[in-house]
């Protein structure tokens, strides 16, 4: 009981005694009880008595849910955390987070507690809370995955940690790196992060093959600035392989050491060729060659020295083997540098020499040096045992499920536009193609979860001729009214009109010619004013149709389902806009957890609206859930390419976002609202057309009161439209 008097204020004595006695008598074992008794006063001194007392309750929860060991770890962690906290709100939030993990994921608690200091150090207390919420939301029934997350073993966890710690994560760098690669080499293969479950060596070094480039999520042990240069160096190097390594080497009959050496020489050869075209690459690569002519003469050391000697002409190394490598190389260079077989020859010779020197080489632990170089797997043809080649899980960027015209006007499924470099690994058609990942907004912590939602493009079903005809031919009077409404609306930049009978400024040219006519004795034209007005409609529209399960509910009026009303409204709009020639696109969406947000294209901006699009619209079925935020973000990407004056995303929905992996109803509402705001910041308007049904509607929260309208049936659409166009004509 040392320190009791000094650490706890007098009015806390009783509460502290009560707290530690409860632990003493609860039967968690003497170890836990004494640790708590010893720790309490110190914690009280550091961050206040309430923390020490409150910790008691959490210790009980943890001991019951996750066992005594975990309780012990908790006390240790609390000790460390108390050193990091600056105020009591932080420690309180930390305990709350521990409580929630103990209740919802007791099996992952120990792992989380032992990493808690690291997470708090990197992300801060707010970040810690976000991190914990991410882990708990990961997957409600996949325990292994959750545990891996809290143990910081999964790729997602690592990504979250990196994303938070201020430095740019790889996924943010990729667009820039792709441009860099394209600028250098003139074509753009897909670039992606190495999958989190790839074998260790592949996560440490870049690689290529299968038409794409894989980059490690981070290069361990390098600073931020170095990372950036490393990624560039890696891409420059891989590009050099793409350009100059024409054929694969046959690995058959070669020892691992020989393979490594042939690769090393080939690396040097392509770099030499690339440097001739782009001399600046020499210094980009050179800064990572740091081997020096010293140290133990073991194989990997000598190889690093040879690499440097081949890269850096000013480097001198007196080791016989390195010298021999250099002279063989420069000799071969001077005869024919484009001969790829020289690498094979020299590498083989050098391999024999190293073998005779009886130097150790452990192929299992070998990683290519320097760090920017790729793992060279793509250089080799391993024959039958091709297990090394893993597929790159690259996002099918720009790829889409495309339809081509057939002679009879119907179209056939075809593969998307592939990048020049080669085919991506295509997913099975029913799974769709992964086209993008988006963050999600967590309103509780007010922060973003990076790369949280995966959007797939799926191909939908085609409806029968009959239901199609119903959409095609129904109510042309409504279509006509909509057409007239849209046609009358003026959404464009203001233009200057001249020669007006009245207006806000004097049209000088008209005034002069009036004066001239006057002096010539003719009757002058009195239209000498000009004004600014919107004369045309310069707007593109993307219509999003909610095809989730809740759209099977009935609309309050008329007894039709929400989905069939949506289809009808969509068809009306599409027919009107197609008739007017306005640029528009249409897509439907639904979702099944954050990993499977489905986006179904009905019509693209470039393609015509024909029976085929109608058949897809008519073929929609209400299934699964509504993850609105991710879909709105994807729609934003889609419409961002349009260069019209205004861009509008029109969401036709029942107004209730939900998904099976989210329990908190408000969560997806707030995320969708955040997504709408993101689009608004890009200058894209988002408008909600709500169908009045049994489903609970959060429309005004998501879209804002002014940007959503409620309609009872598709026929009422003409009444809602003027509102939308009026808002846009600001």
User: Would you tell me which residues interact with other proteins (CB under 8 A)?
Assistant: 175-180, 182-186, 188, 232, 236, 277-281, 284, 496, 509, 512-513, 515-516, 519-520
Q: Three-state SS for 11?
A: helix
What DSSP letter does each residue of 493-506 carry, written as one string? --EEEEEESS-SEE
Which of 65, 71, 76, 70 lies closest to 23, judged by CA?
A: 71
Q: Which is nearer to other proteins, 130 or 275 (CB)?
A: 275
- Contacts of residue 483, defined as CB under 8 A and 6 or more positions apart, other chains included, come to 575, 576, 579, 580
Let me know: does 712 contact 569? Beta carbons within 8 Å.
no
Query: Among residues 298 and 515, whose Cβ is nearest to other proteins?
Result: 515
Please, which contacts does 312-315 make with residues 24 or more away whose CB atoms are closer than 8 Å?
312/286, 315/289
Nearer to other proteins by Cβ, of 627 and 647: the residue is: 647
DSSP per residue over 124-158, as a string?
Answer: HHHHHHHHHHHHHHS-TT-HHHHHHHHTT-SHHHH
- Minimum distance of other proteins from residue 280's CB (angstroms): 4
Using the minimum distance from each CB to other proteins, give the nearer residue, 240 or 630. Answer: 240
Comparison of 276 and 298: residue with beta carbon closer to other proteins? 276
How many other C-beta atoms lie within 10 A of the C-beta of residue 704? 16
Strands of 529-533's sheet in order across: 495-500, 529-533, 505-506
Q: Cβ–Cβ contacts within 10 Å for residue 240, how many?
A: 25
Task: State in angstroms the smallest separation of the CB of 229 from other proteins.
Answer: 9
Smallest gap, in angstroms, from Cβ of residue 536 to other proteins? 10
Give yes or no for a contact between 463 and 618, defined as CB atoms under 8 angstroms apart.
yes
Residue nearer to other proteins on the CB measure, 609 or 687: 609
Pairing of strands 597-603, 447-458: parallel
The Cα 238–Cα 374 span in angstroms is 7
Closest separation in Å from C-beta 225 to other proteins: 13
Residue number, 514 or 631, with CB nearest to other proteins: 514
For other proteins, the closer CB: 127 or 190:
190
Tell me the closest approach of the beta carbon of residue 450 to other proteins, in angstroms.
17
Q: In the bound complex, what is the minimum distance in angstroms from residue 516's beta carbon to other proteins?
A: 5
Three-point CA angle 108, 114, 115, nearest 5°: 90
Nearer to other proteins, 314 or 520 (CB): 520
CB proximity list for 60: less than 8 A, separation 6 or greater: 22, 23, 26, 28
Distance between CA atoms of residues 695 and 711, nearest Å: 14
Q: In the complex, what is the shortest distance from the CB of residue 395 to other proteins, in angstroms, rounded to a whole number?
A: 16
Please choose, from the candidates 638, 596, 241, the residue with its C-alpha nearest in 3D space to the C-alpha of residue 430: 596
CB-based contact 417:398 (threshold 8 Å):
yes
Evaluate whether 289 touches 305 at the Cβ level (below 8 Å).
no
CB 32 within 8 A of CB 65: no
* Closer residue to other proteins (CB): 513 or 700: 513
Q: Least separation, in Å, of the C-beta of 644 and other proteins?
A: 11
User: Between residues 521 and 559, which has the closer beta carbon with respect to other proteins?
Assistant: 521
Instruction: Give me the numbers of helices (H) and strands (E) for the chain, helices first please.
Output: 26, 18
Which residue lies nearer to other proteins by CB, 279 or 501? 279
Which residue lies nearer to other proteins by CB, 183 or 407?
A: 183
CB atoms within 10 A of CB 144: 11
Q: Measured from the CB of residue 379, what is the shortest distance to other proteins in angstroms?
A: 22
β-strand partners of 600: 458, 588
Residue 370: asked if its preceding bond is cis (omega within 30°), the reply is yes
Quote the least distance from Cβ 176 to other proteins, whole Å: 4
Evaluate whether 216 touches 204 at the Cβ level (below 8 Å). Answer: yes
Spatial separation of the C-alpha atoms in residues 209 and 216, rounded to whole Å = 15
Evaluate whether 70 touches 29 at the Cβ level (below 8 Å): no
Smallest distance, other proteins to C-beta of residue 284, A: 6
Residue among 454, 390, 389, 394 at smallest CA distance from 418: 394
Nearer to other proteins, 236 or 478 (CB): 236
Nearer of residues 549 and 645 to other proteins, judged by Cβ: 645
Which one-letter DSSP state was computed for residue 4?
H
Separation between Cα atoms, residue 491 and residue 257, nearest integer Å: 69
Please state the separation of Cα 199 from the chain's center in Å: 22
Q: How far apart are CA 303 and CA 298, in angstroms?
A: 9
Smallest gap from Cβ 178 to other proteins, in A, equals: 8
């Amino acid at each position: 009981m040392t320190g009791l008097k000094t650490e706890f204020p007098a009015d806390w004595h009783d509460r502290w005694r009560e707290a530690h006695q409860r632990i003493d008598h609860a039967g968690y074992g003497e170890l836990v009880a004494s640790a708590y008794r010893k720790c309490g006063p110190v914690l009280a001194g550091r961050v206040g008595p309430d923390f020490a007392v409150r910790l008691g309750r959490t210790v009980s929860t943890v001991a019951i849910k996750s066992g005594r060991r975990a309780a012990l770890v908790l006390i240790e962690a609390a000790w460390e955390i108390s050193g990091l906290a600056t105020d009591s709100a932080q420690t309180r939030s930390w305990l709350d987070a521990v409580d929630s993990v103990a209740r919802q994921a007791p099996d992952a608690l120990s792992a989380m507690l032992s990493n808690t200091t690291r997470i708090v150090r990197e992300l801060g207390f707010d970040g810690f809370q976000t991190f914990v919420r991410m882990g708990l939301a990961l997957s409600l029934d996949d325990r292994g995955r959750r545990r891996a997350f809290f143990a910081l073993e999964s790729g997602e966890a690592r990504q979250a940690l990196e994303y938070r710690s201020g430095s740019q994560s790889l996924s943010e760098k990729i667009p820039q790196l792709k441009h860099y690669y394209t600028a250098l080499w003139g074509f753009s293969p897909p670039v992606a992060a190495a999958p989190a479950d790839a074998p260790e060596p592949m996560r440490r070094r870049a690689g290529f093959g299968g038409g794409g480039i894989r980059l490690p999520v981070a290069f361990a042990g390098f600073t931020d600035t170095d990372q950036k240069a490393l990624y560039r160096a890696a891409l420059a190097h891989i590009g050099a392989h793409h350009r100059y390594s024409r054929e694969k080497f046959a690995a058959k009959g070669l020892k691992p050491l020989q393979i490594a050496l042939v690769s090393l020489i080939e690396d040097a050869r392509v770099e030499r060729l690339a440097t001739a075209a782009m001399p600046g690459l020499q210094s980009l690569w050179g800064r990572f060659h740091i081997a020096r002519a010293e140290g133990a003469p073991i194989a990997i050391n000598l190889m690093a020295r040879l690499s440097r000697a081949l890269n850096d002409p000013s480097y001198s190394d007196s080791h016989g083997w390195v010298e021999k490598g250099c002279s063989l190389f420069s000799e071969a260079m001077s005869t024919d540098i484009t001969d790829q077989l020289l690498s094979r020859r020299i590498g083989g010779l050098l391999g024999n020499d190293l073998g005779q020197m009886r130097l150790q080489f452990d192929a299992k632990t070998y990683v290519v040096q320097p760090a920017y170089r790729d793992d060279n797997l793509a250089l080799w043809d391993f024959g039958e045992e091709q297990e090394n080649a893993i597929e790159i899980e690259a996002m099918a960027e720009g790829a889409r499920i495309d339809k081509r015209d057939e002679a009879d006007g119907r179209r056939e499924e075809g593969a998307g536009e592939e990048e020049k470099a080669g085919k991506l690994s295509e997913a099975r058609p029913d799974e769709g193609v992964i086209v993008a990942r988006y963050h999600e907004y967590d309103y509780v912590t007010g922060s973003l979860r990076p790369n949280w939602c995966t959007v797939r493009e799926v191909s939908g079903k085609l409806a029968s001729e009959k239901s199609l005809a119903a959409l095609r031919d129904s109510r042309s009077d409504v279509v006509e009214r909509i057409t007239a409404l849209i046609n009358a609306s003026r959404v464009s930049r203001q233009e200057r009109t001249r020669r007006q009978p009245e207006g806000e400024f004097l049209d000088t040219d008209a005034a002069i010619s009036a004066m001239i006519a006057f002096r010539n004795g003719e009757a002058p034209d009195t239209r000498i004013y000009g004004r600014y007005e919107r004369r045309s409609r310069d707007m593109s529209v993307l219509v999003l149709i909610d095809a989730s399960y809740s759209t099977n509910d009935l609309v309050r009026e008329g007894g039709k389902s929400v989905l069939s009303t949506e289809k009808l409204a969509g068809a009306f709009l599409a027919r009107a806009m197609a008739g007017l020639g306005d640029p528009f696109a249409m897509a439907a969406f639904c979702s099944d957890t954050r990993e499977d947000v489905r986006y179904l294209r009905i019509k693209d901006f470039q393609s015509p609206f024909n029976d085929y699009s109608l058949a897809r619209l008519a073929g929609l079925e209400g299934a699964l859930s509504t993850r609105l935020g991710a879909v709105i973000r994807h729609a934003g990407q889609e419409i961002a390419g349009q260069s019209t004056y205004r861009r509008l995303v029109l969401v036709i929905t029942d107004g209730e976002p939900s998904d099976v992996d989210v329990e908190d109803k408000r969560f997806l509402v707030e995320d969708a609202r955040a997504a709408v705001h993101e689009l608004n910041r890009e200058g894209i308007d988002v408008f909600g057309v709500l169908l009045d049904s049994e489903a609970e509607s959060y429309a005004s929260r998501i879209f804002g009161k002014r940007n959503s309208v409620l309609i009872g049936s598709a026929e009422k659409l003409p009444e809602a439209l003027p509102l939308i166009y009026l808002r846009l004509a600001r």
